[in-house]
Structure formats: C-alpha cells, structure tokens
C-alpha cells in the first residue's frame, strides 16, 4: 500500500484559486466529501460532525456546549471552547465543499444532486452561525478574530444559497423571500459592526442579494410574496384576509420538502 497523496490526487484537476470538491465512497461504503487544499486534500463526512467523531459522548462539540450551557451556570473549560472553534472551521470547510459540489451538479443539470448539496450547505451555514452565537454569549473574548470575520460571509452565502436551493426545489416565491431575508440580515449585521447607512447600501453582498431579489421577482412574476401579503393585510387590519393568508402560509410550510437544512425544524439563526 502506498501513502503517497499523488495517487489520491491523480486525475483530479483543480485550477489555481478555485475551490474543488468531490463526493467519494469510503472503504466501508460510507459517503464522504473531499475538498482540495494546497498540496493535499481534506476528507469529511457529509452529515454530522465533519470528522465523524463524537465529543464527550455527544454528537458534536456544539451539542455538548449547548447542553452544558442550558444547565444554567455551567462553565465550559477553555479546551471545550477551542474545540468548538475548531469544529466551526471544520464545518465551514465542508460548507465550501458542498457549495462546490452543488454548483458542479447544476452545471451538469443534475438538479436532484444539487438540491441535496445545497440543503447540506445551508445547514452547515446555520450550524456555523449557531457556533458563533453561542460563543458570543459565553466566550466572546476567547474566539479569534478570524472566526468573527466569518459572520458577514456566512450570512451573505445563506441568502444566496437559500435562494438557489428554493429555485432548484421549484419554490420560486420562497427564493425571493430568501434573497430578501439575506439582504436584510446582512444589512443588520453590518450595522452592528459599525457600518453607516451609505456603507451598507454600497456593500457588495447587500447589493448582490437585493439585485437577486429584484431579478427573481421579474423572472418569476412575484409582485408580492405570501408573507408580504400577510403583513399588508395585518397592517390594514384586514383580519379575515390575514387569517386566510396565514393558513396558506402554514400549509405551504407543511408541504415544503424536508432536508438537512431544515430537518430539525429549528428557525435558522441570524448573525
């Protein structure tokens, strides 16, 4: 048996500066995701903790930290927080790999595969944001600046990939909502980071998501989404229409396809 990575990378062309990933099958038949990095490769499980390990008997460091902090007054050791940060970056690397896989699937018109990868990528973004929110509440001074700097990028890509996922699922109105929500969340985060109104209006991420929302509205003829019509009915105190629209919204959510991004039923976190 050879341990030379050249055998693993043989035939896997990756142009400089591009993110390249592939899905492979492990020796035990398990699905794996590989991400090309400079002079090597990262291998991750597509679900659960990227390295496939448990932490102190829990499925992930995040689950352990949430469990301990929910107990009330429990203080995690610095080692636990460092492992949480490490898991955050592992999950973000997998998010990059899954996004690359989704884009490749769309290029070859494999919508079913793209949906799977996009759901997982959105799930990983939500997980990363939960890592950051938990650390912000309990270990803000310990988390590195590089980790905090991920927040705008994650929020931007959550809006972009969320809209892309809804389009792939054939849920065009929800795609508009994802783009609009992403722009709003990114604008809010930038305001918290000290950006003034003009800077936020000119931010490339905010501009992209707002233009995406406008393009989707035109392309799919969405003048007002179901949520927007519900808000308008409530503002006009048309409670009969509001009740009907609320029922439609609930039915839409019940009929929505489920996947890794929303299988646990939790509302996605903001920054």
Report DSSP state, residue 51. Answer: T
Phi, psi of 21 (to 5 degrees): -140, 160
Long-range contacts from 220-226, C-beta under 8 angstroms, 24+ separation:
220/172, 220/173, 220/175, 220/176, 222/172, 222/173, 222/176, 225/173, 225/174, 225/176, 225/177, 225/180, 226/173, 226/252
Q: Span 86-106, mean pLDDT? A: 97
Of 63, 164, 169, 182, nearest in space to 121 by CA: 164
Q: Residue 254, Cβ neighbours under 10 Å: how many?
A: 7
Gap between the Cα atoms of 216 and 121, Å rounded = 21
Predicted local confidence at residue 255, as pLDDT? 73
State how far the Cα of 271 lies from the Cα of 268, in Å rounded to an integer: 10
Q: What is the pLDDT of residues 230-256, one digit of tens each?
A: 888 888 888 888 888 888 888 877 777
- Looking at the DSSP assignment, which residues form a beta bridge with residue 35? 21, 42
Contact 32, 25 (CB under 8 A): yes
Percent of the chain with pLDDT over 70: 93
Span 81-109, mean pLDDT? 96
Bridge partners, residue 55, by sequence: 58
CA distance 73 to 210: 42
Tell which wins on pLDDT, 180 or 39.
180
Residue 23 phi, psi dihedral angles, 5° rounding? -95, 135
Q: What is the pLDDT of residues 13-31, one digit of tens each?
A: 888 888 899 999 998 999 9
Q: Is the pLDDT of residue 267 over 50?
A: no
Token couple for 202: 């000119």
Of the two residues 271 and 213, the one the predictor is more confident about is: 213
Average pLDDT, the chain: 89
Residue from 89, 98, 179, 83 nearest 139 by CA: 83
Least confident of 120-124, 182-186, 204-208, 221-225: 221-225
């Amino acid at each position: 048996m050879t341990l030379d990575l050249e055998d693993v990378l043989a035939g896997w062309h990756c142009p400089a500066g591009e993110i390249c990933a592939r899905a492979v099958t492990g020796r035990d038949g398990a699905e794996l995701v590989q991400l090309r990095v400079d002079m090597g490769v990262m291998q991750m499980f597509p679900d659960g903790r990227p390295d496939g390990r448990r932490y102190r008997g829990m499925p992930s460091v995040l689950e352990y930290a949430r469990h301990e902090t929910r107990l009330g007054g429990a203080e995690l050791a610095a080692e636990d927080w460092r492992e949480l940060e490490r898991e955050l970056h592992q999950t973000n690397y997998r998010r990059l790999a899954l996004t690359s896989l989704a884009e490749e699937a769309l290029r070859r018109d494999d919508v079913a595969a793209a949906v799977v990868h996009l759901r997982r990528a959105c799930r990983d973004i939500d997980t990363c944001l939960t890592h950051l929110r938990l650390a912000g509440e309990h270990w803000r001074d310990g988390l590195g600046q590089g980790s905090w700097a991920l927040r705008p990028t994650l929020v931007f890509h959550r809006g972009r990939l969320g809209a892309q996922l809804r389009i792939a699922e054939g849920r065009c109105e929800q795609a508009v909502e994802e783009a609009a929500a992403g722009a709003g969340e990114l604008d809010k985060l930038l305001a918290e980071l000290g950006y003034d109104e003009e800077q936020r209006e000119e931010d490339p991420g905010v501009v992209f998501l707002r233009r995406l929302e406008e393009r989707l509205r035109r392309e799919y003829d969405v003048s007002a989404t179901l949520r927007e019509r519900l808000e308008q009915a409530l503002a006009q105190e048309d409670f009969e229409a509001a009740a009907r629209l609320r029922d439609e919204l609930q039915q839409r959510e019940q009929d929505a396809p489920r996947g890794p991004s929303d299988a646990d039923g939790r509302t996605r976190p903001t920054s």
